[in-house]
Structure 1
Amino acid sequence: MKKKIVFLLAAIVVVSCSTRVKKPEARSKFLKGFSTYYNTLFNAKDALNSEFTERDKAHKDNFYAPYIPILTYEEQPLGSDLGQSSAFAENSMKMAEVNRPQNGKNGPGMPSNGPGMPGMPGNNMPQDPNNPEGNKGATTLEIAEAKALKAINKYSVIRKGEEKNKTVFDAYIILAQSRIYQGKSVKALDALNYVFTHMKEDKRLPLARVYEGLAYSQLKNYHKSDEIFDKLKNEKISKDHEKLLSIYYAESLLDAGKKESAIKELDRAFELNGNRKLKSRIAFLRGQVLQETGKCDLARESFAAAYKYANDFEFEVKSQIEIAKTFNGKGNYEGAKDYLEKISKKGTYGSRKNEFYYALGLMANKAGKKKEAQDFFKKSLLEKVSDAQVRGLAYYEIGKDYLDRNDYIGAGAYYDSALVAMTYEPSRILLQDQSNYIKKISKNYYLIKKNDSILSLARMSDAQKTDYFAKYIEKLKIREEKEELERRREERNKGFDNGDYNANSLFANSGNSFEDFGVATKGFYFGNTGTVSKGTSTFKQLWGDRALVDNWRYSKKMATIEDMKNEALGITSAPNPRRFEPSYYIEQIPADLGKLSQLKKDRDTASLGLGIMYQNYFTNTSLATKTLYDLVDVKPEEKVMLQALYEIFAMNYEKNPQIADRAKQILLTDYPYTSYAEFVRNPKNNTFVKSSEEVENEYKMAYALYESEKFTESQGRIEQIILKYPKDALIPKLNLLNAINAGKTSGKEVMILQLEQIVLNYAKTPEGIKAKEMLNYLKSDLAFQPTDNKGNSVPNNPFNGPGQPSMPQTDQNNIAPGNNKVNNNSQMMNNTPQNNNIQKKQLNQMQKLQSPEEVKASGK
């Protein structure tokens, strides 16, 4: 009887372990749960663990990005196992030979590529007819996804709509994870929805909710993710789930831009998590957010906590640097400086001296010790590079100091060096823009200095010129004597041995008198870094820094900042036999009035550009205003004077009305009949609200009057609309129509004045742009008696240059109602030259406006 029972049980086991796939309702809950973990599901976890291990090895924190991630891949949960244990890693190694594919063939755990079971997520991996298992060229995450799907397809046990095999929960979490880390968040949500539908009573359900919130956050649906995380936060869940929730919730809030809420959640995450590494990373991230919100004291405390809990040398160094960056300048600077200097000399910290010197420079800047700060930054550049980005930032800080002192050549040189060294791309992009701006400013700045110098010398008497250059020659002699002494000292030192006797030096090998130049075991001559290093050192001792050019022996071509300044100022560096004669320099000063006048014009134009660039590039309104007022004081030509006064008023009339008032008074007193004077009387606001139906109807009426050639009535209606609705979106369009009406009733000169006003008031609108195009044409051929900006008559000169001016091309974008774009076909007056048939045709073409129906029919 016993034998029969044993035989029967054995038969049951064999049948139940058959590879035949049964429907979920017909499967054994116990046996399927057992085989799921120790076969396919184990392989899925192993694949996911391998991916996380590889990513963790490759992971390098970017401390210059706005935020660091809290979890590194080493700390990512595997399925429902919160935390990767060393036990799993060891078990994974033991099972690897059994479960992993061998020799490029599929292992026993690889799934078929079927569509998945009803109600379950399908496997969307591409099918290869030569490789039915579908893992050829698959990434580790795709393998983890496929393994999880196979575990679900083969081992799911559904009874009355409920999943009875609890181990399948792990498979769904692994499936969701593998998809999230592939960026397939929608498919991850598909997998999680099955858990919420068929495993409603599982105690691990909060973990699935955490990943649901993470998936929505990855999709940038922050409202939904916040809803999920906040609901979970108010539920009673296990401590492990709560730890993970606090981390993902804090990062989601940061991504959504809710910094204050994120700080509170990071506080909670810090308290919940006991792992030292996690506490350190949470504290560091919290410090970054606090620093960004201007709470430097709290940020400093947070970075101190990051340093306290850090179990990573890199984290220790970066935490110390951030502590220094948050120094507010009011604390004990000397104590903090001594502390950092001592740390930089201790053990392994000595290899990061360049970073600590950079941090000390930042602290010195905050304490108001500018010179000391620059010394620290320069010391940082002399140390061995441990972080290229820090080296670039040190160059940047030195360049910034040059910029603050208006030394644009020096600033540009250091900014270029910073661009070469920096590794964080967003910083490089910002710095590249600044570097380009500095080069443009530099060009104008040194042109002004050069021309000012020449004009100043030209105004001197002969005796003053002789005395000035005599003093210059004395300084030149002293400098040349110093350079000659230095050259002789270097000549004397040439005979002494300054060789390199380290292990890589060719002198360190006592076996051979000469380095092997052939193909012996030592290899190629220039492959020996020690030999190349010694050769480079010797060359520099003999010749100094030389440019890679022909005839390099004849002159030292080292481009120093001083050389660059001299070149910008037009001072030649090549010695001249007559350089010690005052007459040599006096002869080069221009005496011709025409040349001197041109120098003055060039100088004034450059000064105007410099003031505008200060405002546009660096938003330095005070320096821009000072530069432009200095220009006004030297009485430039009228065109430049008007532009300078306009720029001063435009940038100051809202925020600094007292400063703007001087420019306003000059325009109103000396240039009352200009469009600039009209602008300062009534500066328009370029911020418009949406157009109202009432204004649109009024505009249609004004346009209808214009079409009926009732120009005066059209003007009156437009002026009433503008007074009543000054901020309506149609205001620029109304002004343009009014300018055209003015041209018909008052002539070309009045139309030009009104178009200039539109350009000043609405420069960035389509109407302002079109008005400028119309002005370019109208001003090119004035057929009336012109006056200057003070109302005085000037000789009539209708042509600015040879040939007829070209007309703007006509298009469908006109000023007809229903079209918010403006036609560039200007409306000309009836006083056009009758003897010019070509121009007459052009003017007739410009006078023709499209009706609203034609505009609608054109589709524009």
Structure 2
Amino acid sequence: MALEEGRRTVNESYDDNYWEILPIERMQISEEVMLPGQSRNENFERAEEKAIKAVQKHGMNINGKEKNPQIDEAYLLLGKARYFDQRFVPALQAFNYILYKYPASDNINHARIWREKTNIRLDNNELAIKNLKTLMFQEELEGQDLADATSMMAQAYINIKALDSAVWRLETAAKATKSHDERGRYRFIQGQLYNRLNHKDSANLAFDKVIELNRKTPRAYLIAAYVGKAKNFDFDNEDKVALLELLHELEENRENRPFLGKIYHQIGEYHLKNASDSLAVEYYNKSLRTNSSDQILVSKNYEILGDIFFDYTEYRIAGAYYDSTMFNMVENSKPYRVIKRKRDNLDDVILYEDMAFRNDSILRLAAMSETERNAYFSEYTEALKKAAEEEKERQELAERNQGLITAKTSNSFGVKTDSQKGAQANGKSFGNTDSRSSGGVRPVGGPNPGGVPTFYFYNTSTISYGKNQFRKIWGDRELQDNWRWGSLMKSSKGNQALELAKTEEDSELFDPEFYMAQIPSEQVKIDSIKAERNLAYYQLGLIYKEKFKEYDLSKDKFQTLLGMEPDEKLILPSKYNLYKIYDLQGYDNQAANIKNDIITNYPDSRYAAILLNPESALAQDDSNPEHVYNRLYKKLEDQEYQVVVDETNKFITIFEGEKIVPKLELLKANAMGRLYGFEEYSKAIGYIAYTYANTPEGAQAKVITDELFPKLSPKEFVDNPDEQNFKIVYYFNEPSEDEIKDFTEKLQKEIETVNVFDLSLSVDVYNPNTTFVVVHGLTSKEGAMGYASALEERKKNKIIHQHFAASSTNYKIIQVHKNMDEYLSIE
């Protein structure tokens, strides 16, 4: 009885994943390691104790033969208890003991089947298949033994990906089992296997057999079979009306309420395939509002909704849906990474859309007269007051209801009050859809085109209002565990002060002057907001054109930008991009007009030169971006780091918005790292990784941050006795080119006379003021210092200059972290 109770608990605690092939047996395998004497389930522990006690107290082993016919039953109970407690090796020992000691037992076949079940759990699938085949060849199994043997063979075949062999074993198991629950499960798994083998008709026949069982099998299998058939539906050749009627019948059946999430999802799939996108969105949102415990279903709903809005170029809404998709996925799983890449690609467009929307709103308010602003915010604050009054009435009603509940039940059994339920419901709104929005399709995190964003935390007013409402319900609470306990409320004096603060804050929220005072009036600030807004429009035009190939959206952004009187540096590239879009779309007249405008009004620009001579594209002209990059890269190799930093800054401004800019930023970062050290390099790389995340250079910066920085960050000097590569470093402060040239020529002549070591010479920039002349190829620090001393003591051509010796490892640290002074202080 304890074993069966434990087995029932295991079955009930297992959540089937109908998106994958179901396992034959419902049992969640835990990765938790149990210590000796521990058990996962007290029922199995009790069953094991009883089995052991039966063997110890009632065993009658006389002359090597067991006289008590119940002892093999005890060992069988022992093995099963260990099996379900997930101690498979001890379970295998128990089953093997039966086979060894009780070969004439009437339970011998049962024990052999359970041994192979255990082998399968230990991933010995081939051995289990071999032993079960032998058993079925030697014995004529029937009834439940036959069902168990063939079903476990099917599981072993599934494990080794031999799906076709598993199918017909399940056919035998489904016919032989005495349990309708098992029969429904086996038939459904058959359907799944046929689908994997791309035999849709056979899969539908298997699902039909599940449906025929009706109430004899668990409702979960029945609904899953209906959904499986719907997924296999042929929209070209089958009756679509009949399918939709069937799905709505399932929706309206009260018995199917626990499965409405799956049914709504499938109706959404039907409408999506039938090109009824608005209906599909409605039903996917209905599926989400069922708060299904199936995380995969929830994530699929969000992902599909994200894809729908992505296809409609509603990228901000799509981004909100993708965020919710990832929230319901296993982090760092392959599907999670796929969605994350898709979501990351939207970062820039969401950033600039938000920037454009926000700054447009501010500029519209700034352009209003005092009277218009007062009227606008008066209407806004009146709406806030009305909402606050309605919320107050709701809270009072909730408190009255709570008092009634307390009077009847004293609320001592964990009954949730209305206010608690309301708070919980608000918590659940994260990542869900807002049923109050138009058509029930807008995500909470999505925008509200033409108005204030609907996401709660995007609106400072709703945040303040929400804080006040929380304090009204719960008082002043610290952020800590068990925060709802009454003992954690602050003192009454503190609460009085809090109430006063809340009253003052409420009065601000309902005062139009509070909002009007925040509108910028200084021309400098307004100009800054305009410049930021214009840059956002330009970047959006480029993103829509280059990344998403949405030429109409891109064209709209560039045209709107040109109508806003932007900075001169944005006008010409915007016109050139418009020319390219018109040319791609085949609008020849518009393309010709813009081309003539650029050539006439900007004759000296590189864009005009490209339009006049597209073939050459100014390949060697200094104004060509690629030529500029190649020239600066050569200067980086020549250690002209300050020149690279200065010129990249200049050309980043000139080429703003073009593909070459991230490459120039990366070039500048390298030059700054060589010149100023690790701190400046890490800042520059971090800026590239964030600002240009969706470019190859941004991805390269991310790799540098994740993989290279941990190797470069240590700045402690290393004393390694095995190091065999040392250098002499001569350092010069603000030297002239002639000084460095004369010193290196003199030193080069000396090192050429050394035959013992393979010495070489280099000139390395340390920082803007200091240059190193380095002798490489020495094998010890003492040898390096000795060689430098020998050069100083020569009778002729003495080489005397400030210097130090360092290993290659420490020289690298000096150059990376620019900490020569620290190194010299410890020498």
Relative to the length of structure 1, the TM-score reads: 0.47
Q: If each structure's helix is expressed as a fraction of its own residues, which one has the higher value?
A: 2
